Amino acid sequence: MPPTHHPMRATRELGRSFVYAFEGLLYTMHTQRNMRFHIFMAILVLAFNVSFSDYIPVDERALLLIVICLVPAFEIVNTSIESQADYVGADRHELIKRAKDTAAAAVLVMALTAMAVGGYVLLPNFIKFFRAPTPGRITSVGLRLIMSVTVGGSILVFWIFRSVKHLFFPTLVMASLAAGGTTAVMCIIGRDPSTAVALLFLCALELNAFARAEFEVRIHKEWVRPDLPFEVEGLKLIAPGLLLGFLGGAWVVWWGPFACYLAR
């Protein structure tokens, strides 16, 4: 008879597999510049998708979400292939070069596909909105557009000022609060909770990738202690900041000055 595993052992192994997968995701975010670019573009597209959710059918929004998620997934597979190729052959070889090039080509094809699908889904609805806007919805869509720009802008502000010695921690906290709050406002008004979860997760990944790189620089400069767990140290500020910002944005929409938009 095949050996049986204790339920607790199986649970621990399952939990360990999730930890390993998350470590691989953090590694890809930290080492691959293209991955950070893909995640940032995914944040912007998802935010604009929520902004015009009144004009985009649910099935098209779901299709857009799928292709957006596939681009980072292909980048992760590409990183895995490159790591295995580097391990197998440290010297330059034509076959290893072909393996890396074809893996990168798969990412490029998926990225172009995502751009085509995004144009197919978003552009007609943008044109429809600006040509014949519906009375009573212009202000709501405009507010969500401002929030979507703010989500990306908060990440860019942290990326710009993260290297300033005394502005790193304040800008990281402010970027987390702003990203969480604006996500709550546009997703609650747009009635899209699934995109809210996706945006919060992607913002946490993007901010942590920039914070991790900066922590390594600060350890080298002896600005922080050398034994600092820089891989996840930023998440200790990012996760609470996103959560508090989201709760604050939810309060503004449900009980604050933006409550009038829920009735539309």
**Residue extents of the structural domains in the chain:** 9-263
Whole-angstrom distance, CA of residue 174 vs CA of residue 169: 9
CATH class for the region spanning 9-263: mainly alpha
Q: Is the pLDDT of residue 264 over 60?
A: no
Whole-angstrom distance, CA of residue 253 vs CA of residue 184: 8
Of 2-16, 66-80, 109-123, 174-188, the least confident: 2-16
Contact between residue 144 and residue 186 where contact means Cβ atoms under 8 Å apart: yes
Give the predicted TM-score (pTM) of the model. Answer: 0.85
| Of 261, 47, 48, residue with least CA distance to 136 | 261
Alpha helix ranges (H) inside the chain? 7-31, 33-51, 58-88, 94-131, 138-161, 168-189, 193-220, 230-233, 235-254
- Per the residue annotation, which of 23, 60, 75, 222 is the catalytic one? 75
pLDDT for 1:
44
Whole-angstrom distance, CA of residue 220 vs CA of residue 47: 36
Q: What is the pLDDT confidence band of residue 232, given thresholds at 50, 70 and 90?
A: confident
Which positions ≥6 away from 210 have C-beta within 8 Å? 36, 155, 158, 159, 162, 234
Quickly list DSSP for 36-58: HHHHHHHHHHHHHHHHTTTTS-H
Instruction: Give 143-190 pLDDT, tens digit per residue.
Output: 888 888 999 999 999 999 988 888 888 999 999 999 999 999 999 988
pLDDT for 74:
93
Whole-angstrom distance, CA of residue 209 vs CA of residue 113: 26
Q: Is the pLDDT of residue 248 over 90?
A: yes
Q: What is the pLDDT confidence band of residue 226, given thresholds at 50, 70 and 90?
A: low
Whole-angstrom distance, CA of residue 44 vs CA of residue 115: 13
The answer to whether residue 75 is catalytic is: yes
Span 216-237, average pLDDT: 72
